[in-house]
Amino acid sequence: MSSTSLRYSLILAMMFFVCTSHARPFFREGGVSGGGGNVINPTPPNEVLDGETAEEIVKASFKYVHIYLQDKASQYQNNEMSPADQNLYAKLFEGNNNIINAVGTIRPKVEDERPCFDFASKPVDASVVSRKPNTFCVSAFSLGQKVIHSEIPIQSTALMIHEYSELIGLSEDEAVFFQTKALEDLKTMDLPPLEISEDDHH
């Protein structure tokens, strides 16, 4: 192995350690697979949105994660779901390592100049592999290239639900399921307008 390859392997090993050690309370056995996620059936943009602007939108959209999960948790707690959905959403809301606790502990690290990378170093739109402790990666850079401006808020919110699902130990298939459900639900929800301030852009 060349010295360059060795250094690259060591960097990947360190990224894995940082990600899993700081998020360890939320990892369950049999959980994360590749560690990454991508947007689902996005409407392509007519013009690519620059990473800086997309970053502001993604950061502001984080409040939709709270709104969406509060809504679903209320439905779950009040038994307003079908029996099948009650069983499915128990995976998100039951136990100490639930998605509400994860959202309060681990935050998105938004990248505006690069994609995210999964455990196999494959470029993805979001990943539990992050360069900063207690975070996961969301790539505004990738979303700006793949998603029409108006869809970035709901696509990024659903993508964050995917990553939080993996962080609490769900499988890739389960994470995609909850991402898909979130995307469907968000399209029909009466969401408040985003408030993009200078504080979101740093």
pLDDT tens, position by position, 53-100: 999 999 999 999 999 999 999 999 999 999 999 999 999 999 999 999
Average pLDDT of the residues of the chain: 85
pLDDT for the residue 74: 98
Q: Model pTM? A: 0.82
Per the CB < 8 A criterion, the answer to whether 122 and 36 are in contact is yes
> 117 pairs with which residues across the strands?
123
Tell me the domain boundaries of the chain.
3-200
How sure is the predictor about 35, in pLDDT bands with cuts at 50, 70 and 90? Answer: confident
In tens, the pLDDT along 109-143 reads 999 999 999 999 999 999 999 989 999 999 999 99
Q: Burial letters for 84-100: b for 16+ Cβ neighbours within 10 Å, e otherwise?
A: eeeebbebbbeeeebbe
